Copies of this chain bind each other. A is one copy, B any other.
Amino acid sequence: MRRDVFQAIADPTRREIICMIAQKPLNVNAVAGNFEVSRTAIYKHVKILTECGLIVIKQHGRERYYEAKLQKLNEVSDWIEQYRKFWNAKLDSLEEYLNKLQRENKITSKNKKHGKQK
């Protein structure tokens, strides 16, 4: 039973749940009311989210409110950030290419001006 943030956010339903309770804390029924699936199914998703620390539970009488605690998402964005330089490098060389095109275009424009100006 692997339970890390990467796996937690892999499921679209769980991402929706995160979206909902990030706005304001809700209890299971309130969350389940917005889905087709049963309360138990939502309960299981929420359990996974609490087990990996993306949600905390605040009890009020018999009701339990789920609160988003999304700092753990940093694990994911940190992992992604280490690769950003790779695709930025690619984009940089694209930019360079475009600049080169532009320089060439300038020359062409000059030629045009000289050769075809009306």
Residues on A facing B (Cβ under 8 Å): 2, 6-7, 9-10, 12, 15, 18, 22, 68-71, 73, 76-77, 79-81, 83-84, 86-87, 90
Q: Which residues of B contact A79 (CB under 8 A)?
A: 9, 15
A106 and B15 alpha carbons, distance in the complex (Å)? 44
Chain A residues touching B, majority SS: helix
In the complex with contacts A7-B10, A10-B6, A83-B73 CB distance below 8 A: yes
Q: Which residues of B contact A69 (CB under 8 A)?
A: 87
10 smallest CB-CB distances across A and B, nearest first, come from: A10-B10, A7-B10, A73-B80, A77-B80, A70-B83, A71-B87, A6-B10, A70-B87, A77-B77, A22-B86
